[in-house]
Amino acid sequence: MDLETTPAKLNVAVPSLKSLYIEMYYGDLLLASGSVFLAANDKESHCALITNRHNVTGRHQETSKCLNRNGAIPDNIVIHFHKASESVWKWKEVKLPLYRSDGTPFWIEHPRLGANADMVALNLSWGSDVTKYPYFLKTDLDRRSIEIGPAEPISVIGFPFGLSSSEHFPLWATGFLAQELSFISPDNPSFIIDCRTRPGQSGSAVIAYRPGGYRSIKDGRINTTLTGETVWEFLGIYSGRINPESDLGRVWHVSAIEELLAAAEVEYIKPRRIK
C-alpha cells in the first residue's frame, strides 16, 4: 500500500503519515519516547529509518551525559509502523536491536561528520505487512524548491511528551525559521528555528507546509505560485532546543540527510543486515 491507496474514510494530511512514534528500551524497561521518519531518494531507491543520534545512544549529543536519571542506556527501540490495510488504520510494532552480538551499533552515522551530527540511519528488512511512507528526497512530492526566509512558518511533526493526536498519529508544532538557509554549509549543515518544542519531538521531520501558495526562485527571480493543492518542502530533522530556557531549536538540513541516506545504502549491501 502507498499514498495512492490509503484508507479513504480518514482525512489525514500526507506528512502526518510520514512521522512515526518510537520508544527506547533497556531490555523491557521503557526509557524514553521520540520521533522518527523514513527517507528514500525516490520510490525505487533504498529506504532507511532516520532519527536523532541521541535517541539511540541515550546520551546528550554535546555533553555525552546520560539522559536517563538512573543511568540506563537503550539497547533496543520499538517503532510503531503503519500496517497494511485497505479499509482501516492499523499499526504494527517492530522491535529493533541497537547493537550486534559483538557490541557494535547497528546504526549508521553521518559519513563525514560522524558523531558530531545528531542523526543516524537504520536499515531494515521490510515485511509485506508494513506500509512505508518515506520522505522522498529527489522528487517534487516532498521537495518543491519552496523559497523560505526568516520569520516564515515551519512545522515540526512528532510526538511531544509521547503524545499523539489519535492512536499513533503525530502532532504538529508550528514555529518560524530563525535564520537564512543560505548560511548552511557542508561543514555546518544545520539551522535554527523558533518553535515551542518539547521532549519527544527529537527526530521529528521539519517541513514548510503551504496550503495555498508558495514562493520559488526561477532564473534568478522570485516567483509566487498560487495553487489549489497543498504543497510542502522537507527541510530536515529536528534535534532539540539549543538551551532549556529558549524555544530556539536546531534542525539538521536535508542535504546532510542525503549524505546519511547514501551511507546507509552502502551499508545495506554488506553481508550483515538487520533481520
Q: Which residues contact 117 (CB under 8 A, 6 or more apart)?
A: 53, 109, 110, 189, 252, 256, 260
pLDDT for 24 beyond 90: yes
Lowest mean pLDDT among 55-69, 87-101, 222-236: 222-236
* Count of beta carbons in the 10 Å neighbourhood of residue 209: 18
User: 11 in a domain, yes or no?
Assistant: no
pLDDT tens digits along 99-139: 999 999 999 999 999 999 999 999 998 878 889 999 999 99
pLDDT tens digits along 178-197: 999 999 999 999 999 999 99
For cell 514555529, what's the residue?
175
Q: Examine the domain organization and report whether 235 and 264 are in the same domain.
A: no
pLDDT for 151 beyond 70: yes
The count of structural domains within the chain is: 2
pLDDT band at 87 (very low <50, low <70, confident <90, very high): low
Q: Residue 182 sits in a domain of what CATH number?
A: 2.40.10.10
Q: Examine the domain organization and report whether 152 and 129 are in the same domain.
A: no
User: 8 in a domain, yes or no?
Assistant: no
pLDDT for 240 beyond 90: yes
The per-residue pLDDT for 1 is 43
Residue-number span of the structural domain to which 166 is assigned: 141-254
Q: Examine the domain organization and report whether 99 and 204 are in the same domain.
A: no
Q: Where are the beta strands (DSSP E) in the chain?
A: 19-26, 29-40, 47-51, 76-83, 90-97, 108-109, 120-122, 130-131, 135-136, 153-158, 171-177, 190-194, 205-210, 213-218, 221-226, 231-241, 248-253
Instruction: Decide if 96 contacts 76 (C-beta within 8 A).
Output: yes
- Which amino acid, 93? E
Q: Where are the beta strands (DSSP E) in 1-138?
A: 19-26, 29-40, 47-51, 76-83, 90-97, 108-109, 120-122, 130-131, 135-136
For 218, half-sphere exposure in the C-beta direction (CA atoms, 13 angstrom radius) is 8
What are the beta bridge partners of residue 213?
226
Q: Which of 127, 72, 135, 61 is nearest to 94 (CA)?
A: 127
Mean pLDDT computed over 36-55:
96
* Count of beta carbons in the 10 Å neighbourhood of residue 262: 15
Q: Examine the domain organization and report whether 102 and 149 are in the same domain.
A: no
Q: Examine the domain organization and report whether 167 and 105 are in the same domain.
A: no
The per-residue pLDDT for 127 is 78
Listed in sequence order, the DSSP H helices in the chain are 14-18, 53-57, 254-268
Of the segments 2-6, 165-169, 259-263, 268-272, which one has the largest average pLDDT value? 259-263
The per-residue pLDDT for 266 is 94
The per-residue pLDDT for 219 is 65
Separation CA 64–CA 66 (nearest Å): 6
Q: Phi-psi category of 203—alpha, beta or left, where left has phi over 0 and alpha has psi -120 to 50?
A: left
The per-residue pLDDT for 86 is 61
Cα angle: 181, vertex 17, 8; to 5 degrees: 135
3-state secondary structure of 131: strand
For cell 532564473, what's the residue?
219
